[in-house]
Structure 1
């Protein structure tokens, strides 16, 4: 009787090595059929674990510990086992990470919770200022969570009933691209959760990135194949996640750290608690995060990782600091672009020295003229730098005092375009001329203007300067404005050059030129049809989007919404005085003056009349609201702090359903401050100083009976 002492797999055969030193060979399928369910379950779990580790060794560490042949055999055995015992197949199995879905076009999805950007700081004093702002708002009793700031691609994952149903890129923060098929190929993102204490629906945010070893290996392969290498791991990861074939994505190993949980109802009191919870659910949370009790703890963490970051297998470019308590986060709130309870500390940027070849000037859609330094190419922070922003005239003439042919220091400190930080005066050539800022527009020759208190020079010829005309139209069709499908920046440029469009209103007359458009290169019948359909559909966009699309200086998307709500239609806005404008929420002196200047120009009024004739929306659609009562009509409220019985959103609904209005800041006009536990001391102090009634949630309910 022989005893099996080892098993070896080759070419779909199982070889049992016997004590009598000879082999008995069985086909793989025969071996699998002899397995009991319990044995199969254990074997599946063992193989899955081994294969995941081998993938990590190969792709991330670039140190394979098994031959390709033996790896393929393990994978094949796992495939066969999962076929025979499907009840043990895991959605997160290595066999499922192969992709295969072809995405011809990524669907745009609106984020349930906007993906805002973080404010940045580059020095300790600014971080101390941030800390003081927090203390002034919520007092001294709070903690921070410090996390590594990964240099990757932001991603939002939605789970329902514990299953991954959607993965969406950051996009513009309001909406992004659905890349679910591609994200499913990432091994470290669970497709199905096995713990039972997660909510039925939640979103979790994280960063998709590529490890340095994997980046180096794949870039070398591209060079060997005659392809252009990627500049850095972030670009490689970003390009990979937007590929159309998920099978190709699966060949490029991506990784992901998760770092923020969103739920309809808050289930944890702190961010730190939620990080520990999602780790238990199966998500990969970075192990280097730390709970800090003081700002000095934060500085210690920053200094530690400023040195240790070069030993990581992935790139980081700073540290993210977040207030730990969710109640305090809610109290601190948000600006239009970023949370007030978090900030990113960026590590000191890499610096290089190179020669200034020339200075050129760009004209933006608002007429602002921006100088750009053209440099002798130099390698910096993973990319070759040829240009750097010079910001304005004062930067050239006063701060840097640039001369022709200067050798300059260049940094990439969070800027998309690098910036010049200084000049090497030791290398300045004798007799070199100082660079003087231009006085006339480089595009149309109009004399430049500079308003008092502003750094930038402007070309006032907004209706006759080509870059401004094109820029306005490109802004108008943008996703955040009119979101016109089938019409992009390059098409706008081409149509302008061919004389089809000179103003925004001309876009809506393109349907009259469809025959001429067909004669142009790269304008097929289908693309023309899509463009005209997109233009027609844009007429449904609400007034605030149209107002933003007009491109009035300082009127961004948020300000346009405030103006649309306050004035209801464009005629009232155009007729408003300075005093009337500044009574609108968040409208200050600078914005008011800009609006007045815009509507003084008869050409702008004519353009609006043309757009009205084309059917665009210049009136805010009044939604009929069914109120529970009008008890609070004409009363304004601010809600602050944490409440035992209600969430702040529920209290907001109660107030609005009974005719009251929620406002954003404390002023003498405020009627009531609804105060809960842990409310900010600054709000309490200001309300007390202005003699504003401070009430509880019970007082509020008593007011409405």
Structure 2
């Protein structure tokens, strides 16, 4: 029986079939359904109607239900049959999943092509052009033709295992077609995309359920792919395109990238139909302009074009920078702008109590994303732009991501609403608002729920107390469900409390409780930073810890005492003293002590000034230090640790696998130290203990 060409859907009753006859029919149905999936998702040329396809699928489900032994792991019916997972596990990629160097100007593209031509000793290297897909980057792994794994990009070296969700995507074959000889192992990089039609429908559902909407289709795809329960993903209008091979075993690879993409398509993997060959800057510019014109009419998001060397062999010789290949470049599109109506201005309360006015907009499509809100930063910015409810405004996406109001569009002969003014009381907790320069702030601190959610999230961040599993969404659920009213309540949570939250199972709940238990004796500097006191970053927290020695001393220090600490100015001193003077904050700290939180005192020995005035930047991995330890070592000797190379940088310390900072340091004439040189410098400058 043949279900590939003009399939017959006049089926015999299932109870009239023997098991052998059912097995034969089920095998033919699986082959036919895979064939029609290939025509629909890869070739974009379906040969049967949706109704006929649905009948074939339903018949296969009927056979497998009547004869369970016929159900195979790679059957099309098993896309929605996986059990939920307790948590997303981390898996190593087959090869590094690099990012791309991005440019916006044609001159930068021309320079890239000249570098390629010079390196390959040719005037016009053959190029492969692709749209820069704006979705979730994933790795797909097939062994002997069967899908065995899939993961998010993560940090490029490893990512979250999302195989259970990838299996639900109808565009992704669970078993490769045997076209051109199947490899024994294939690892492919792909982009999971949420079509705009599906994005609009999904956000409508979320609004009706009272949930926050996704900001854009990329976030929607990423959010769905990280669900623990594949039932939450199945049936969503997600698709994907494959665009790079990470590993190939068991057969020879084609010499060119475009031939490799053709082979992927032969195996049933979807590739983008907009891919093209090129050989000159004119070709690339024409492609860039063409896709820029098309981007709003596509059903998926793109934010530029990708230019790759087509020949695969020379790519190895060209190599990579720290995080990007030298043989590929992304040419981004300029930000898009649109005009819409500002319907109202709401106010959002942040972690530090700062009130931010938010423009609520009549939904407008900006660069392929439906935007319905945009930040207005502060009251002065609202006044400067003079925007009011009812105004027509021009909206841009800064960096093609963050929506902002660029300006008001004059509308002659139309009345305008009154000027916006900030509220006198916090819209969340009702506390009276205070004005600090350009900003309005709620002084309630941890007693304000909006600030509490932000504080919990900050408290748990890696640079603070590093409580794995306690992110913003979990913090919000804990507060909204009344489980946590301040930071002290975190230490009274049980596994049963957390397991009752959406997205948690027994194992993940126990792990989160254990992670919270593990930070009952925090270091003073980290604890001060974790409290989220305004203007107190890691460096300032360390200075206060060294000067005061204990949490009690820091809490009792007045602004004058704090201001005598090196690097602490009047504004920071007032902020710290005000935080500890607030009755609600002192009450919470007392409850944390009662819950068993024992903040460890700091070493108050006199700090060395041997490296005073010097600025250090670190890149790569040091064998003898973590990044925090290396930064603390120079700070203990009076130096400053910065995050990036600038004209003020004195030393760049280079470890294994350094990034692009080294190249910038060499160009700027910054002194570069390897780990031995760094050790020698520290030894010569003393140990910082006085």
Q: Please give the TM-score of this superposition, normalised by the length of structure 1.
A: 0.58
Residues 395-422 of structure 1 deviation map (CA, whole Å, 9 limit, x = unaligned): 3122x22246433334556777743232
Contact 1:485 1:531 in 2 (8 A): no
Listed as ranges, the matches of 1:369-384 within 5 Å are 369-375=355-361
Contact 1:137 1:682 in 2 (8 A): no
- Counterpart Cα distance in 2 of 1:672 and 1:379: 45
1:96 and 2:76 matched: yes
Aligned to 1:539: 517
Aligned to 1:551: 532
Contact 1:186 1:250 in 2 (8 A): yes
Aligned to 1:392: 378
2:387 to 388, 392, 402: 402
Secondary structure in 2 matching 1:288: coil
- Counterpart Cα distance in 1 of 2:596 and 2:164: 44
1:447 and 2:434 matched: yes
Listed as ranges, the matches of 1:221-620 within 5 Å are 241=225, 251=235, 254-260=238-244, 262=246, 277=260, 280=263, 282=267, 283-289=269-275, 298-309=284-295, 312=298, 314-321=299-306, 330-333=320-323, 345-346=332-333, 348-349=335-336, 351-354=338-341, 356-375=342-361, 386-398=372-384, 400-403=385-388, 405-411=390-396, 418-427=403-412, 429=414, 433-436=418-421, 443-450=430-437, 458=441, 462=445, 465-477=448-460, 481-484=466-469, 488-494=474-480, 501-502=485-486, 504-509=487-492, 534-540=512-518, 549-551=530-532, 571-572=545-546, 603=580, 607=589, 610=593, 613-614=596-597
- Counterpart Cα distance in 1 of 2:594 and 2:166: 42
- Counterpart Cα distance in 2 of 1:384 and 1:680: 40
Runs of 5+ unmatched residues, structure 2: 310-314, 551-565, 604-615, 632-642, 675-690
Deviation at 1:535, TM superposition (A): 3.3
- Counterpart Cα distance in 2 of 1:619 and 1:215: 51
Deviation at 1:182, TM superposition (A): 3.2
Aligned to 2:607: none
Q: 1:54 to 1:252 in 2, by over 3 A?
A: farther
- Counterpart Cα distance in 1 of 2:98 and 2:535: 20
Contact 1:482 1:545 in 2 (8 A): no
2:164 to 181, 204, 225: 181
Contact 1:406 1:427 in 2 (8 A): no
Deviation at 1:445, TM superposition (A): 2.0
- Counterpart Cα distance in 2 of 1:574 and 1:115: 46
Q: 1:389 to 1:32 in 2, by over 3 A?
A: closer
Secondary structure in 1 matching 2:435: coil
Deviation at 1:317, TM superposition (A): 3.3
Contact 2:355 2:442 in 1 (8 A): yes
Contact 1:396 1:402 in 2 (8 A): yes
RMSD: 7.0
Q: Please give the TM-score of this superposition, normalised by the length of structure 2.
A: 0.59
- Counterpart Cα distance in 2 of 1:119 and 1:429: 47
Q: 1:572 to 1:411 in 2, by over 3 A?
A: same
- Counterpart Cα distance in 2 of 1:601 and 1:139: 62
- Counterpart Cα distance in 2 of 1:69 and 1:672: 59
Aligned to 1:16: none
Q: 1:233 to 1:367 in 2, by over 3 A?
A: closer
- Counterpart Cα distance in 2 of 1:34 and 1:465: 65
Deviation at 1:545, TM superposition (A): 8.5
1:207 and 2:184 matched: no
- Counterpart Cα distance in 1 of 2:118 and 2:358: 45
1:68 and 2:52 matched: yes
Deviation at 1:71, TM superposition (A): 6.0
Which stretch of the first structure deviates more once superposed, 379-388 or 532-541?
379-388
Runs of 5+ unmatched residues, structure 1: 1-5, 14-25, 577-588, 621-635, 640-647, 694-705
1:149 to 118, 128, 132: 132
Deviation at 1:175, TM superposition (A): 8.4
Deviation at 1:349, TM superposition (A): 3.2
Secondary structure in 1 matching 2:321: helix
Which stretch of the first structure deviates more once superposed, 181-190 or 164-173?
164-173
- Counterpart Cα distance in 2 of 1:46 and 1:528: 40
Aligned pair count reads: 583
- Counterpart Cα distance in 2 of 1:375 and 1:34: 58
Listed as ranges, the matches of 1:184-199 within 5 Å are 184-191=167-174
Q: 1:100 to 1:249 in 2, by over 3 A?
A: same
- Counterpart Cα distance in 2 of 1:96 and 1:212: 25
- Counterpart Cα distance in 2 of 1:479 and 1:671: 22
Higher Cα Rg, which structure? 1
Secondary structure in 1 matching 2:450: helix
Contact 2:469 2:512 in 1 (8 A): yes
Contact 2:388 2:416 in 1 (8 A): no
Contact 2:130 2:275 in 1 (8 A): yes
Contact 1:148 1:320 in 2 (8 A): yes
- Counterpart Cα distance in 1 of 2:133 and 2:549: 49
Q: 1:593 to 1:162 in 2, by over 3 A?
A: farther
Aligned to 1:585: none
1:109 and 2:109 matched: no
